[in-house]
Amino acid sequence: MFLVHEVGMRDGLQMEKQLVPFETKVKWIEKMIESKVDIIQLGSFVHKEKMPQMADSDELFNYFNKKKYNVVFSGLALNERGMERALACGVNLLCLGVSASETHSQKNTRMSVDEATERIINIAKESMKAGLEVQTSVQSALGCGFEGAIPEEKVLTIIKKYLDAGIRKVSLADTAGYGNPAQVERMVCAIKELDAELEIACHFHNTYGMGLVNYYAAMKRGAKVFESSTGGLGGCPFTKLAAGNVCTEDLINLLNQMGLRKDIDINVFIELAKEMAEFFQRELPGYVYKAGLMKK
């Protein structure tokens, strides 16, 4: 089964200067839970002053962990302190990442790719030792807004290191939105050759409008988890052009049209995208929330 990982509350909001109140986030997350989406990323464990939008991440996890939900709550950490906070507030899935681009890595972490990889793997090992589920990503895996093409072997070298560390969930992240379907198929196949049982996730951005076709290409070759953001909100603040994520309701619509994942209530995301557009007082990048569902 293909899984949908909603990242709007983290990747979607991290670019927004208008702060979303805690109560509003709770209301939006409750709607996401009602949709029966598989994974919801509640926030990231970063410095509150550097990213005020994520200042209430710990509080959100504590709030939602008071009750049992049939959903996985994920969170992003960048360093050891982030891991400690994730452990303290009961994260279900800890997401960690390394950029394959030296320029992006320096802007994002102030470390080289090799330094960042060693550090993230150590954090992953500590997290798994403590009983946490861990997913590690390779960011800028399909290209970089600063450097252009990224050698595929460089991406695979990082993934090999993840495998050697015992990590079983890996995300291919197209941070700059440079990927194309042929490249995606080639990369997913190459990762599968390293370990056929590895759970491959994909996180694609829609900078050049190829996000959905890249997801379809990844599906065909065995990727199982797809990360997206309600309304298409978001983007990495440390890439050259911070374009939005692939839109969750557009992704679910694609799955629905293929006869897949009809158990996820797309109408919840359509209404939520409208609510977010009203909150931010602008039209969001998504298509389905504006066009409506196709008539059967």
Active site residues: 236
Residue type, 229: S
Separation CA 189–CA 147 (nearest Å) = 24
Strands 3-6 and 225-228: parallel
**Count of Cβ atoms closer than 10 Å to residue 186 Cβ:** 14
Separation CA 155–CA 165 (nearest Å) = 16
CB 245 within 8 A of CB 15: no
- Can you say whether residue 259 is alpha, beta or left, with left for phi > 0 and alpha for psi between -120 and 50 degrees? left
- Please name which of 110, 135, 114, 147 lies closest in space to residue 239, comparing C-alpha atoms: 147
Separation CA 217–CA 180 (nearest Å) = 9
Strands 72-77 and 93-99: parallel
Residue type, 259: G
DSSP 119-156: HHHHHHHHHHHTT-EEEEEEETTT-BTTTB---HHHHH
